[in-house]
Structure 1
């Protein structure tokens, strides 16, 4: 990804370093979410505990990147486009950290619900989890290249994730009606499903930040059609 040339070569080095750290953080968050879903589906308590333990790494990376961005703003007095990049990065790492929180909480659910686990409920989340992880992977790739077309494509994937989420909720509601004793465990699964669905919303946010950096347009709340019109 090219940020443009600056009079200060050190400025270029600093921007590239921050970009690299964001992608490293994104890779860790993707791994955390993948491990959390594996732990939930396979009843792997050791893996779930690892996800919970490693959450601090995500948090530390967010703080470190945020501090680096603050230093650049203070030292370099960035131009408009550079400032858009820095703001996009700050917002992106916030969403990544929150996805990391989702992974940690899903892992916690895997640990706490293990003695009562009904695999039927857990398996129903597998397609939803796969879609969320794929969406996260693709938006990180779009961020790495600051590719607005790829970002627009990823943005649309949230509709498919939402549809899968609604199907899961309908399935779980049926289970509850058939067996009221299962309600406490199903509520935990419902919470996990909702958390996974929110990953899609976080990915959409990152798509918006990419478009904001490249196009200089705030596309929040515009919707898919308006974004497509902007990119034509």
Structure 2
């Protein structure tokens, strides 16, 4: 992932921090995947496992952020190296927040299990969006590991598909609530889950944008999609 430097220890430090980021990413990806399976299967045991991992994710965020701070203080990186360390610090924040959303999915799932009205609501869109979010998170981390700006740009572009599934599911929930007021409580729980999935996609997109920032030195967070694609693939 990193370029070679005169100091082999500097290379080792950079690679260590990058490795910890990817380890944390794997943990969060697993957490999100289990959260979506808990929701799809209404599995309380899986939901409990998701919530139990939240502490591990939070611990890793603190440890990696501390390592980034120490790396900047001791090595005083510049140019691309500095962008890499800063991007890692921001990426772990997005990973921690994605973990928070997985925890939210698990908690809302347990609440849904207490309501019999949930069995009458078709959740196809949000289950599909969940699989898409997991895929985007995995691909964003892969693009980070390889510093692949083209793959990162594709992740940013495809996040819109999750937004479309989210909007479709919200329209369906409104219909359910209008037709049967007894579904209002469980529909609101599902709305929170749908929003959590949509936010996980956003966090994956943010991580992908950091890849372009590292390699190109350009902050693409607010660029139109066409310009972002040009910057990433030029």
Which band: TM-score by shorter chain?
A: over 0.9
Does structure 1 retain, via aligned residues, the 8 Å contact 2:136–2:205? no
> Is 1:119 matched with 2:119?
yes
Question: How many residues are matched?
Answer: 231
Q: Residues 16-37 of structure 1: CA distance to partner in whole angstroms, max 9, x if unpaired?
A: 0111111110010000000011
Change in 2 beyond 3 A, CA 1:122/1:18: farther
Equivalences for 1:76-87 in 2 at 5 Å? 76-87=75-86
Name the counterpart of 2:160: 159
Does structure 1 retain, via aligned residues, the 8 Å contact 2:33–2:134? yes
Name the counterpart of 2:211: 210
Change in 2 beyond 3 A, CA 1:94/1:104: same
Q: How far apart, CA to CA, are the structure 2 residues paired with 1:81 and 1:122?
A: 47
Q: CA deviation at 1:210?
A: 0.5
Instruction: Name the Cα RMSD after superposition.
Output: 1.1
Q: CA deviation at 1:204?
A: 1.4
Q: How far apart, CA to CA, are the structure 1 residues paired with 2:120 and 2:19?
A: 40
Q: Residues 103-154 of structure 1: CA distance to partner in whole angstroms, max 9, x if unpaired?
A: 0111011112211151343633211111111111111111110100000011
Does structure 2 retain, via aligned residues, the 8 Å contact 1:102–1:195? yes
SS in 2 for 1:115: coil
Change in 2 beyond 3 A, CA 1:79/1:111: same
TM-score relative to the length of structure 2: 0.95
Does structure 2 retain, via aligned residues, the 8 Å contact 1:121–1:189? no
> Is 1:190 matched with 2:191?
yes
Does structure 2 retain, via aligned residues, the 8 Å contact 1:99–1:202? yes
> Is 1:74 matched with 2:73?
yes
Q: Residues 125-184 of structure 1: CA distance to partner in whole angstroms, max 9, x if unpaired?
A: 211111111111111111110100000011111111111111111111110111012111
Q: CA deviation at 1:84?
A: 0.3
SS in 1 for 2:152: helix
Q: Using the TM superposition, name which of 97-106 and 191-200 deviates more.
A: 191-200
Name the counterpart of 1:52: 51
Change in 2 beyond 3 A, CA 1:127/1:190: same
